[in-house]
Structure 1
Amino acid sequence: MSLTRRGFLVALPLFLAACSTRTAPTTDSGSAVLNAYAAIPHPEFPLPALNARMIQPHLRRQEVDYDTSHAKGTLVVDTPSKYLYYVLGEGRAMRYGIGVGREGLALRGNAYVGRKAEWPGWTPTANMLRRDPEANGPYRNGVPGGLNNPLGARALYLYRGGRDTMFRIHGTNQPQSIGLAMSSGCVRMLNHDVIDLYERVPSGARVVVIQA
């Protein structure tokens, strides 16, 4: 498996929060969708435009109706539906399509955003090195941030009780993986979408996971 297909794996206790939801997408104009995925300039890592027509409409970033008891500013990872919601309040949320962990490896349990990083570096975890030393061994000393890094343009590091869970919500340079369960545990987002989310979410934001 290629470097960009790797994720993170750590055993976490299951603790689910109840969430009653109703969603209905807001219809975006074609120009709004194209603008959402336009090129993003950067002095070192300019992000090229993403052809939004290659993304299934329901997986594109969009504001939706969302009835929930969770407070404004909460991130809700809906693993079965492959959506991440950022609760806006007043019955609305920003919805993003995501990629999640393979069966048995998906993120479980509530957490909070312990820190954030732009164009983060990546180092395989000890579990990843043990599980697949041939694929991950060459990268044991880490990979610098950039367009080819598996964490993409941004990363939100998920913590519990003051400790890093080793799970992340991060970008990806594999847009075809969005909507699928193929990672080793982390939540993947389109680079354009994770940049949008990154600007909205402060450190300390609560993360709730809905599990099948």
Structure 2
Amino acid sequence: MLRREAPDLVALQELRGFDRRRIATLADSLGMVAHLAPSVFGQAVAVLVRPPLVMGRRESVTWRLHHAAAAVTVGPLTLVSTHLNANSARRRYREATWLAHRYARRGQVLIAGDMNALSGFEPSPSTGRFSVGSRSDPRAIAAFEQAGLVDLWKVAGTGSGLTVPTSVGDPFDPMRLDYFLGTPSVAARVREVRVLRGDEIEYASDHRPLLVELRPA
């Protein structure tokens, strides 16, 4: 899927068992360069950049988060890949508040990842196949928005925004748990946001990937 779509930037989460050598092997196979942020308690995250784009400043946030955040600067844009706490709405809210405070005032910022929360923009699942638990708490997404970040799906989402489950995922009710959140200057550049579906996507992961297309800065 990554070879077919050939994105310029990739934000990855749930990299269980990945170290810098393994992420470099993956990046090399795609013709990209990687920055990995390891996790003390959870799972690593990463950002991949395709040349001729140049990866500038790199940050690995491994504290205040159950998982981690990897941030890289590419030209005027800072891309942050993160994964919020799945089991505690309170901790997830604290993580979102802290990330928003750290990054929301840096100009062109795009925060991407598995936020493990509904936004309140779409109705909560109601079929009862699997309890959504704390994921129905919208405070984490609200914390990003209150800091001035924009849910890019609201700006240019096309088709269904549901990112879970895939055929190998837990039997959740269909939900949107994965987000692109951008500063207003990034939101103004958005052409399209969509969820990729079908083929190997349905068995490669328990989440479907999101793709965003931005106009040139």
Q: TM-score range by the shorter chain?
A: under 0.3
The structure with more helix, counted as a fraction of residues:
2
- Which of 1 and 2 has higher RCO (CA within 8 Å, sep 6+)? 1
